[in-house]
Amino acid sequence: MVARYPRAYAILHWLIAALIFVLFAMQYVRRLFGEDAHAIVREWHKSLGLVLVALIVVRLVVRLVETMPPRFPDPSRLRTFGAHLVHAILWGLMIVVPFLGVAFLIARGRGVNFFTTMQIGPFTSGSAYWGDITINLHRYSAYALIAVIVLHAAAAFYHRIILKDDLLSRMAVASSSVDEKNQLVF
Write out the residues near ligand HEM by the rule CB under 6 A: 13, 16-17, 20, 23-24, 27, 38, 42, 45-46, 49-50, 52-53, 72, 83, 87, 90-91, 94, 97-98, 101-102, 104-105, 112, 138-139, 142, 145, 149, 152-153, 156, 167-168, 170-171
What CA–CA distance (Å, rounded) separates 113 from 160? 42
Nearer to ligand HEM, 58 or 90 (CB): 90
CB of 47 vs ligand HEM, minimal distance in Å: 8
| Spatial CB neighbours of 146, under 8 Å, sequence gap ≥ 6 | 20, 24
Residue 145: burial class (beta carbons within 10 Å; 0-12, 13-18, 19+):
buried
Residue 151: burial class (beta carbons within 10 Å; 0-12, 13-18, 19+):
middle
Tell me the Ramachandran region of residue 120: left when phi exceeds 0, alpha when psi lies from -120 to 50, beta otherwise. beta
Beta bridge partners of 112: 120
Strands (E), the chain: 112-114, 118-120, 177-178, 184-185
CB of 39 vs ligand HEM, minimal distance in Å: 8
Which residue, among 89, 90, 88, 122, has the nearest Cα to 107 in the 3D structure? 122
CB of 101 vs ligand HEM, minimal distance in Å: 2
What CA–CA distance (Å, rounded) separates 13 from 172? 10
